Structure 1
């Protein structure tokens, strides 16, 4: 192969690689990328494609190695982006951050919003995508502040960056979803530009602009980006063909010069010049600048100006009239003095005004955007005439002499017509026809405005939908479960009845302790999407709380059949063993889940719970620490550590970890109760009573909070309020033996022996196993009441 053919071979290989990548034939793409890298071992594009194929196949280490050299130099955005993604998966966040920072000049001003469609795409990321990845890297690097900043920047550039929004919520940042999901200035600029163009002319930032040229592989290079302010600084887009600001005021990007376009026929490098810094894949290169009918009637000769020698036919993109036919040329040359009869315009394609200039009826809105028909038409006609090539005439005389003769012929024809005919011709064929023909541009302009309004309405509807879903997710991330359920209920039915939204509703019910409602929602999800694995660990925990062994075992079996390598399936099996009190088997299952996904914090927490059940507090402590290390905002891990310290008698450490969990989830009544319990054990009854009161306010139906508050009130000798709390608790849990036993002791303290004996008897009937303790309390009715209560005698669940 000759050396001059190497670039063409590389171009073919790149096109084939993108073909296989777009069709998800990664193995084929990887093989071709190997050939390209062998052909161009020093090419950054070849290294990028080889690393990308390896990354798509899950070979993170290989992607890391192939892209490292080019990425760390900061000279290729594609290599830097793939390298950073591999670093995130390999736990090398620092290297990924360094590579993206070094290449900041390559992605800082890029915005690809509305440049991706079914037929075109950009294979390099824009600033929003890079900022989102940087946020994930900073979070993995344990720098939440910088991560939040990156997520915010990503959402400012593209509010549809949902991943950035969810990550921002998970960091605990205070945000307003209504301020996030709104039309950005770039979107407004695009909509404004599209409303000022004709129906046949795409906006300046369309996916496949008309100035793009296609190579043999169907790879198109993008034109000027209207969102990039540097384009005007380099002299692009100021005027069109020397007409000052005729289109630039409308924000329309213009074709590049012929010399520049000739360089884009071959696939450019990823970080080439200003106008070819990315590759846009497409089928047809987008809509043409104008749609000229294929069959057009011959047009009358018009005045021509000399063509500038620096321009060629390929540099002119405005619509052109067809060349004069042989018949018309012969007629013009032989019938100089003969009058031409007045004829109506053929198919309405050609009209003549009073001044003698012709007007086209099929000039589309992209070349005549003005609503003033006569002035704008003459202006555009003069521009077209100025740059129209004169090579269609085959006479031997000069172009100036030919134009003079044509002008003389037109004047002679007008002079030989009768006066009435001239008047009728001027009135009917000139002014009247021009006015009637100008109705079409007005209608087209109205259609463009209507289309733009529909686009804005659709965009606003999408943003409103995202705002509602985002508000629900944000409320759930703050554990405001009732608010989250209410927010999700406001979503349109078509979006609400989807697995993801229903899963969020189910988790909201689970967090607030409404296990029956949560089970109903998750069962609906399972029926709707049988193969869904996400959030199924929560469903298994819901079934564990409901003590539904059969459904839990069936769920575990289904999840294992769907994907035996998913941590959710192993968590479901572990919960099933735990419900059967086979704690050792459950621990093995939870360990397997953490091996499959070391960042799955909930599996570490469940493993810690099982170690606590086996009274293996050291192992439990280690499991909980792994949970909070994987996710610092996983409040269950902090709760587990507090529970271990409480079991070990380290109440101050227990209080510290319980408060850490309550800081993350301040609406959980159980966490507040746990704080109150350790305060009671450290002889701080008033502080404990305050915590129990807060817990009752958070969850008025919490039996545990009511029971603990009633006992604290009895400890401080506030019998009246304690009786009121126990009466409420009796309505909440009428069959709970501990409630009636507590009422018996309260009535004993109030010296109401009859009521005390009645409640002691009810407690004895409800829990015969506690007969020894209940009988001792009945026999001691004549004794003075003790000053304190024993925790072991009257715990409630």
Structure 2
């Protein structure tokens, strides 16, 4: 009798204990899910202070490295990298190491950033977050002057994610980019399609069961006293769902939390599974997987032509990612999408049956709004201007885009509750080859032919953008302008493209057209500061003081923490010959962005104007440490050494600048001057001829050629060159002064006096006035006596 009484008591006690434990666990899971959802909503609405508060609350209540990542992401998005640095220091997960490296990079702790991405004790460890991780590591190598390693990782980033445009930009800046047609070709199309398919199915796994999660969440919050033990067991077995954050196992548990209205997870800016990565996207690009197709049947595509008109060539595959176990994925996906599992409620089953045949299509528009870091250009003078027509700005009010129709995606799969992350559906490759095959994307269905068409259209535009930018970085500016002119009207008339056009004209020393292009860019994108540092230098050369002052005021009101704004102010003061104030403003630009090479160069120009040559040399060298292909700094160093009469050093630096920018007639002119100073006159004349051919309207090489001929006593040839030069620069006093010197040496004193007088009438500088007057006073003296006196 005692035994029979004891059994029910033990059974009731264990049941009560299990009920209390289950209730406690459910409350904890619900609490964590609500907190995480609150943080995500705050981040999505840019309420960083609120997101940080609840992230700290979350970490205190549920300490884990995943929650620390969320807190660090909040601080990074709030531009507080130092906080993220201290939070993540010593963490080991791949996502943590990436975020830690990102915070180190923003704090200019490049050695620590490299150690986080490539641990010394794990030499074969994979770089976290795929393309984004390789891109960040490439930046670290670039700014630590390891060009070969930087190029390797930028290429790796592009191979993993062909839409990582910033990696291609960096390759162009380093002078290591392949032709855009090769980078954004057929291989890139296949890679993008596979990534897109993987991403859409990962998104599908999180979208189709939104209603189930909400239902499960509401059931989980019911008190255990109101349900039977059997119901409690059933609920506790179904209340967890993992959302794949990437294919590397970096997942975020939502545990039944309510989702945003559109059913899309906003985990954070640094943890998105999209293959179209932003510059510092923390999500690793998905692995290249086989062609995929939704499991659910589609009545509109069942009768479609089965011929493979939109086939993705499965034989061309990029290197496979070793961390994906495809056998396990197929095994899991077979369980996920089999129809043998019981549905959780008759209501959901009926709903799924009613919505099984629902379809929608979307019309996708594409565009770009990228920005790039400009290398800068020094204040090289020329009197030559060309007139080339720049396209008009389109009427943006008339641009209309079809947003497409919303779709209820695969409702027959809503009843499946998944407890494993990273699972992929098992699919039939043949079905995807059909033109009518459809894929979900953020609640919208796209058929396979539209995916192929969209990919081809995006890549065709990227080929034009990429080739134009590559040619610009190679200083083949006329070729770059021709490529940009092939862009569609709506893409040509964007702020980024017009700024690139303005920079190209600037490098061609065509300041009027550069001014026109930059003015259009300002009109189209008044909020963008892309290329405005160069625009201010264009106005400096045009001596447009009023426009330059207005531009500087507009930029400083737009963003007073941008280096471009302070470069414009510095150019204002430099135009007014207030070099000390100009230098302070350029130093402020350097303080705001120590990696802004052009600001260092502008500082150096002002130091040289103040004759502080040692400080100028240091500033030029700082610019070269940031960008070894910054030809303006090489040119500036050559000018310093030329003034110091260190002609061999000057020749070396001018030649290096000329190798980087072989089309600059001004650099070639000064290289010829250095060669002439080294008594290498034949080489000097050859270089001057090249400079004249590079830009017929640039007066500098013709003037230098005449001086070399005069020193070689080839007076007739020198006078011929100067007579031709008068047509291009009729108001240049130095031309008439040199002609006067030649006529004096030819003992043609009347012509010499005439040309000296013409030179004085053109109001030369005070130094030139003194030189010309001294020559006029010695005009009737023999050359030997004139030289002695």
TM over 0.5: yes
The Cα shift of 1:776 comes to 6.7
Aligned counterparts of 1:144 and 1:289: Cα–Cα separation in 2: 49
**Residue of structure 1 in register with 2:100 after alignment:** 83
In structure 1, the gaps of 5 or more residues are 109-124, 195-201, 221-258, 294-310, 324-359, 367-440, 791-797
User: Structure 1 residues 285 and 596 mapped into 2: Cα distance closer, same or farther (>3 Å)?
Assistant: closer
Task: Determine which of 152, 158, 171 is the counterpart of 1:155.
Answer: 158
Task: Determine which of 88, 94, 98 is the counterpart of 2:115.
Answer: 98
Instruction: Summarize deviations over 1:129-170 as a string: whole Å, max 9, x none.
Output: 221112112212321111111111111222211110111111
Alignment of 1:354-753 (within 5 A): 447-448=436-437, 451-746=447-742
Alignment of 1:298-317 (within 5 A): 315-316=338-339
**Residue of structure 2 in register with 1:184 after alignment:** 187
The Cα shift of 1:753 comes to 7.0
Instruction: Summarize deviations over 1:485-507 as a string: whole Å, max 9, x none.
Output: 22211211110101111111111
**Residue of structure 2 in register with 1:167 after alignment:** 170
Aligned counterparts of 2:547 and 2:739: Cα–Cα separation in 1: 37
Aligned counterparts of 2:615 and 2:337: Cα–Cα separation in 1: 76
The answer to whether the 8 Å contact 2:59/2:68 transfers is: yes
User: Structure 1 residues 219 and 92 mapped into 2: Cα distance closer, same or farther (>3 Å)?
Assistant: farther
The answer to whether the 8 Å contact 1:77/1:106 transfers is: no
**Residue of structure 1 in register with 2:142 after alignment:** 139
User: Structure 1 residues 192 and 528 mapped into 2: Cα distance closer, same or farther (>3 Å)?
Assistant: closer
Q: Which moved more, 1:778-787 or 1:28-37?
A: 778-787
**Residue of structure 1 in register with 2:48 after alignment:** 26
Instruction: Summarize deviations over 1:556-595 as a string: whole Å, max 9, x none.
Output: 2222222222222222111111111112221222222222
Aligned counterparts of 2:696 and 2:457: Cα–Cα separation in 1: 38
The Cα shift of 1:731 comes to 1.4
Task: Determine which of 23, 34, 38 is the counterpart of 1:16.
Answer: 38
The answer to whether the 8 Å contact 1:519/1:543 transfers is: yes
The answer to whether the 8 Å contact 1:651/1:678 transfers is: yes
User: Structure 1 residues 562 and 785 mapped into 2: Cα distance closer, same or farther (>3 Å)?
Assistant: same
Aligned counterparts of 1:788 and 1:60: Cα–Cα separation in 2: 69
Secondary structure of the residue aligned to 2:662 is coil
Aligned counterparts of 2:110 and 2:617: Cα–Cα separation in 1: 27
Aligned counterparts of 2:507 and 2:561: Cα–Cα separation in 1: 27
The Cα shift of 1:478 comes to 1.3
The answer to whether the 8 Å contact 2:567/2:599 transfers is: yes
User: Structure 1 residues 606 and 285 mapped into 2: Cα distance closer, same or farther (>3 Å)?
Assistant: closer
User: Structure 1 residues 496 and 279 mapped into 2: Cα distance closer, same or farther (>3 Å)?
Assistant: farther
Structure with the larger RCO, 1 or 2 (CA within 8 Å, 6+ apart): 2
Aligned counterparts of 1:276 and 1:214: Cα–Cα separation in 2: 21
**What TM-score do the two structures reach when normalised by structure 2?**
0.66
User: Structure 1 residues 318 and 704 mapped into 2: Cα distance closer, same or farther (>3 Å)?
Assistant: farther
Aligned counterparts of 2:507 and 2:248: Cα–Cα separation in 1: 52
User: Structure 1 residues 100 and 530 mapped into 2: Cα distance closer, same or farther (>3 Å)?
Assistant: same
The answer to whether the 8 Å contact 1:472/1:488 transfers is: yes
Secondary structure of the residue aligned to 1:207 is helix
Instruction: Summarize deviations over 1:197-229 as a string: whole Å, max 9, x none.
Output: xxxxx9984631489655876799xxxxxxxxx
Is 1:266 equivalent to 2:269 in the alignment? Answer: no
The Cα shift of 1:474 comes to 0.9
Q: Which moved more, 1:748-757 or 1:657-666?
A: 748-757
User: Structure 1 residues 218 and 634 mapped into 2: Cα distance closer, same or farther (>3 Å)?
Assistant: farther
Secondary structure of the residue aligned to 2:588 is helix
Higher CA-based Rg: 1
Aligned counterparts of 2:561 and 2:200: Cα–Cα separation in 1: 48
The answer to whether the 8 Å contact 1:45/1:270 transfers is: no
**What TM-score do the two structures reach when normalised by structure 1?**
0.65
Aligned counterparts of 2:570 and 2:175: Cα–Cα separation in 1: 30
The answer to whether the 8 Å contact 2:118/2:125 transfers is: no
Secondary structure of the residue aligned to 2:628 is coil
**Residue of structure 2 in register with 1:55 after alignment:** 76
Is 1:67 equivalent to 2:76 in the alignment? Answer: no
Aligned counterparts of 2:215 and 2:37: Cα–Cα separation in 1: 7
Aligned counterparts of 2:214 and 2:166: Cα–Cα separation in 1: 32
User: Structure 1 residues 514 and 269 mapped into 2: Cα distance closer, same or farther (>3 Å)?
Assistant: closer
The answer to whether the 8 Å contact 2:193/2:451 transfers is: no
Aligned counterparts of 2:625 and 2:171: Cα–Cα separation in 1: 18
Instruction: Summarize deviations over 1:82-138 as a string: whole Å, max 9, x none.
Output: 111111112222322232235999967xxxxxxxxxxxxxxxx84222211121122
The Cα shift of 1:694 comes to 2.2
Alignment of 1:250-265 (within 5 A): 265=240
In structure 2, the gaps of 5 or more residues are 1-19, 217-233, 266-293, 301-333, 347-352, 360-429, 439-445
User: Structure 1 residues 691 and 263 mapped into 2: Cα distance closer, same or farther (>3 Å)?
Assistant: farther
User: Structure 1 residues 219 and 179 mapped into 2: Cα distance closer, same or farther (>3 Å)?
Assistant: farther
The Cα shift of 1:510 comes to 1.2
Count of residue pairs the alignment pairs up:
593
The Cα shift of 1:19 comes to 2.7
The Cα shift of 1:316 comes to 0.4
Alignment of 1:321-360 (within 5 A): none
**Residue of structure 2 in register with 1:289 after alignment:** 296
Aligned counterparts of 1:788 and 1:134: Cα–Cα separation in 2: 66
